[in-house]
Structure 1
């Protein structure tokens, strides 16, 4: 199964070598093509690392007594500030 990060790994050499090939066909400087391709590859890598980072899923499988299985995703715990904000001051 190919995912987003697999495509990114394929795009890195494409973004580096593609402008070099295009520059040689059009007649532009190879130095400029390397700089443009390297910058494009760096942007793709930065997006893959920081915008859509590889975060492991926290999915657990729960099996009921009747044999039915369900996948549940662990939700982050609420902080103390979030828990206290729902309580009225001085009330129960």
Structure 2
């Protein structure tokens, strides 16, 4: 089954070669058409890496298919020394 990244891997050389060839055929010089084709290929790579970047199972939000069944999501401590950033004290004076 083909996924998003399979299409991106196919579109990178297609954009570089195809857009460059098309622009060259319509009259743009090769020295101007090649950077345009490379720019489109660069935009495709940037989109695949940063806009719709791959996530590992550890990065996926809880409740998605990557989480193990029967294990609750990790909770953040909301009180005590960990929340304030200081050491836990008993409240007495020294």
Measured against the shorter chain, the TM-score band is 0.5 to 0.7
* Distance of aligned partners of 1:31 and 1:79 in 2 relative to their CA distance in 1, 3 Å threshold: farther
Q: Deviations over 1:14-63 (max 9, x none)?
A: 1101122112321111111111111111111011011111113424467x
Deviation of 1:79 after TM superposition, in Å, equals: 2.8
The TM-score normalised by the length of structure 2 is 0.62
- CA-based RMSD: 2.2
- Higher-Rg member (1/2): 2
User: Which of the two has greater strand per residue?
Assistant: 1
Match of 1:79 in 2: 76
Match of 2:62 in 1: none
Give the aligned length: 71
SS in 1 for 2:20: helix
The TM-score normalised by the length of structure 1 is 0.63
Match of 1:48 in 2: 48
Runs of 5+ consecutive residues of structure 1 not aligned to the other structure: 63-71, 85-92
Runs of 5+ consecutive residues of structure 2 not aligned to the other structure: 58-65, 80-94
